[in-house]
């Protein structure tokens, strides 16, 4: 049977245990080497249990090359009543980078990086762009969307970080000022000054008191309205995607990368006083926003959007049609705060992202992350890590690896090597299932013993295509980023 976009499919060339691999995998031939990264880590700068130097020592012990720390930038919600909602309000918060100081945050990374030159430290942030309230504070009050977080990496301009456009961080420098919001207190001040001036000329004590009676509320009004603009209305009672898009655009403008955190996580509701924080999965945000670099595709919860044909593939297909740029890549997210038994998700070295980097430096690792050059994985046993290499498309002497685009003729060879990167002796012979997804459809599923090498030749229709794979071996999972190819007919 001919599949959509495919003229013909040739026979499987090789899929066998202990198959020979090329002298060097495609990644190495292109000058890249695998580096193992742990992303979404919290330190004492927010609500983590360890400081950066302690985490660096833990990472070294566990053979982790990159620590992607994402401390909470600002964790604060406010509910106000009456016309002066900032002034007459109750605030709930916990420490974050903005509270401790942006300079101290980045300076701490620089100090620890000098002490651990064999480790790459990526200082990042976890931001909560928006929340909104529903209900009545006297009976039942609900906080919505505060659990929809975005991870930020690659922003080193400290002033730009301080001015991140997230709710509760409205500043003069990062808001569009609304003259109407400033007009009320300004007019009140001018009236107070006028009455005070007339009172001074007339030596009228009552006019002095009247001026003061007007000036004081005007001052309070100014404090409540400052900086005379806001990013979104938390009292609208409805969701708003624009604050999230604003953060994504702002970070991109300043050279950073954004990743949606835990899009399908199912957190329990949290009750604090009369307010309840409502948490629901939000995979739709991946399709309603644009310009983000990727999302956490593996984490300690049930995930469906990365299954063949589901939302991730739908977004990748949109990219093939010229929309949704950049295409969304996947990383593994830990949300690590401290060590605890949790099926490996709080052990630092089970949930990993493997990046193919030109060097073990912050710049090279960030480049690999920016280009989606790598794969997300969860490892059942960190002392016996299953990995992939030589995951490549080849055509007419050209080669492309994950995150790259191959300029190809109709004849394309797909290949991957699945092997144990550590603990090979213990892992040899373990069963693995490999799913090959092309253009949003599962085209083959193979089951065999590891290590194994897969080679497959196909004849593709002209146009844009992509391949990605999923590998499962017990609870170990590998989720590759795609390889793209542009197929054109020979002249």
Note the pLDDT of residue 159: 97
Place of tokens 């500043």: 171
Alpha-carbon distance of 256 to 293, in angstroms, equals 9
Alpha-carbon distance of 366 to 296, in angstroms, equals 16
SS3 state of residue 249: helix
SS3 state of residue 475: coil
Burial class (CB in 10 A: 0-12, 13-18, 19+), 229: middle
- For the record, the structure tokens of 34 come out as 């695998």
Note the pLDDT of residue 424: 66
Note the pLDDT of residue 427: 67
Alpha-carbon distance of 360 to 297, in angstroms, equals 24
Q: What distance separates the 2 farthest-apart alpha carbons in the chain?
A: 102
Note the pLDDT of residue 224: 67
- The DSSP string of 430-470 is -EEEEEEEETTEEEEEEEEESSEEEEEEEEEPSEEEEEEEE
Note the pLDDT of residue 266: 83
Note the pLDDT of residue 423: 74
Fold of 1-29+378-491: Immunoglobulin-like (2.60.40)
Query: Which letter does DSSP use for residue 336 in this model?
Result: B
Q: Phi first, then psi: give them for residue 111, nearest 5 degrees.
A: -65, -45
Taking only the tens of pLDDT, the chain with its 491 residues reads 333 344 434 444 444 444 444 569 999 999 999 999 999 999 999 999 999 999 999 999 999 999 999 999 999 999 888 887 777 778 888 999 999 999 999 999 999 999 999 999 999 999 999 999 998 877 789 999 999 999 999 999 999 999 999 999 988 788 776 767 767 777 876 777 777 777 777 777 777 687 777 777 777 767 667 777 777 889 888 899 999 999 999 999 999 999 999 999 887 777 676 788 888 999 999 999 999 999 999 998 889 999 999 999 999 999 999 998 999 999 999 999 999 876 678 889 999 999 999 999 999 999 999 999 999 999 999 989 999 999 999 999 999 999 999 999 999 999 999 999 987 666 678 899 999 999 999 999 999 899 999 999 999 999 999 999 999 999 999 999 999 999 998 87
Note the pLDDT of residue 291: 97
Counting every residue written for the chain, the total comes to 491
Note the pLDDT of residue 342: 65
- The DSSP string of 363-374 is HHHHHHHHHT-E
Note the pLDDT of residue 18: 43
Note the pLDDT of residue 20: 45
CA distances in angstroms from 179 to 173, 184, 236, 242, 362, listed in the order given: 15, 9, 21, 21, 43
Asked whether the CA dihedral 460, 325, 148, 153 is positive or negative, the reply is positive
CATH code, residues 33-167+235-372: 3.20.20.140
Alpha-carbon distance of 281 to 145, in angstroms, equals 10
């Amino acid at each position: 049977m001919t599949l959509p976009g495919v003229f013909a499919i040739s026979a499987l060339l090789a899929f066998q245990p202990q198959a020979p691999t090329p002298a060097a995998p495609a990644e190495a031939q292109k000058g890249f080497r695998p580096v193992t990264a742990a992303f979404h880590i919290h330190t004492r700068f927010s609500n983590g249990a360890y400081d950066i130097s302690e985490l660096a020592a833990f990472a070294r012990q566990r053979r982790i090359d990159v620590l992607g720390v994402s401390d909470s930038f600002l964790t604060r919600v406010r509910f106000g009543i009456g016309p002066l909602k900032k002034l007459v309000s109750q605030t709930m918060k916990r420490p974050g980078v903005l509270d401790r100081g942006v300079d101290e945050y980045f300076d701490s990374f620089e100090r620890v990086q000098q002490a651990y030159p064999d480790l790459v430290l990526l200082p990042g942030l976890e931001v909560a762009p928006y929340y909104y309230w529903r209900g009545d504070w006297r009976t039942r009050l609900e906080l919505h969307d505060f659990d929809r977080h975005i991870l930020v990496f690659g922003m080193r301009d400290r002033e730009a970080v301080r001015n991140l456009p997230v709710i509760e961080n409205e500043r003069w420098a990062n808001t569009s000022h609304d003259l109407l919001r400033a007009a009320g207190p300004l007019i009140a001040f001018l009236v107070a000054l006028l009455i005070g001036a007339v009172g001074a000329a007339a030596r009228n004590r009552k006019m002095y008191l009247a001026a003061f009676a007007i000036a004081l509320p005007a001052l309070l009004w100014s404090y409540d309205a400052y900086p005379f603009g806001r990013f979104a209305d938390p009292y609208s009672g409805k969701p708003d995607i624009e604050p999230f898009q604003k953060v994504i655009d702002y970070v991109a403008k300043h050279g950073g990368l954004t990743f949606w955190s835990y899009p399908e996580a199912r957190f329990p509701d949290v009750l604090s006083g009369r307010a309840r924080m409502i948490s629901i999965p939000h995979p739709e945000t991946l399709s309603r926003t644009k310009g983000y670099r990727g999302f956490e595709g593996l984490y300690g919860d049930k995930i469906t959007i990365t299954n063949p044909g589901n939302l991730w593939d739908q977004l990748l297909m949109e990219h093939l049609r010229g929309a949704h740029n950049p295409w969304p890549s996947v990383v593994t997210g830990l949300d690590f705060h401290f060590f605890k038994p949790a099926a490996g998700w709080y052990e630092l070295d089970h949930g990993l992202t493997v990046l193919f980097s030109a060097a073990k430096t912050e710049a090279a690792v960030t480049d690999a992350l920016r280009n989606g050059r790598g794969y997300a994985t969860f490892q059942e046993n960190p002392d016996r890590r299953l990995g992939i290499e030589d995951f490549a498309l080849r055509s007419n002497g050209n080669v492309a690896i994950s995150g790259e685009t191959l300029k190809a003729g109709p004849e394309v060879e797909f290949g991957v090597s699945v092997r144990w990167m550590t603990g090979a002796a213990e892992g040899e012979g373990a069963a693995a299932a490999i799913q090959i997804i092309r253009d949003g459809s599962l085209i083959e599923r193979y089951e065999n013993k590891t290590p194994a090498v897969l080679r497959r030749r196909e004849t593709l229709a002209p146009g844009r295509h992509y391949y990605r794979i999923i590998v499962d071996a017990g609870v170990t999972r590998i989720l590759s980023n795609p390889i793209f190819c542009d197929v054109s007919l020979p002249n």
